[in-house]
Amino acid sequence: MNIAYLVVECRPVKDDGYADLNIGDDSYIFHNFDAILNTGDWERNIQDAILVGIDINRTQPDHKYIVIHPESILKLAKAIMQ
């Protein structure tokens, strides 16, 4: 499977005792992951990712989302493994 982007839906922390992601003073837990398959057209790939984000905003207005490129995930994994 060739993934262009990963869209991560993040819900606000509600006394869960931990957070997967902090942005400023706000804390979030990873709620859902959507893989955007690589179409070979980078503009189409990012558009597909944005459309998933728009859907998250529409259906879960208190949730946030992040769009991550697979290379960035590898960078994070390498940093953790050091």
Q: How far apart are CA 51 and CA 58, in angstroms?
A: 10
Q: How do residues 22-62 score in pLDDT, each as one tens digit?
A: 989 999 999 999 999 999 999 999 999 999 999 999 999 99
Is the pLDDT reported for residue 16 higher than 90?
A: no
Domain count, the chain: 1
Q: How far apart are CA 10 and CA 31, in angstroms?
A: 5
Q: How far apart are CA 52 and CA 61, in angstroms?
A: 13
Is the pLDDT reported for residue 1 higher than 80?
A: no
pTM: 0.88
Q: How many CB atoms lie within 10 A of CB 10?
A: 22
pLDDT band at 17 (very low <50, low <70, confident <90, very high): confident
Structural domain boundaries, residue 72: 3-81
Q: How far apart are CA 45 and CA 82, in angstroms?
A: 31
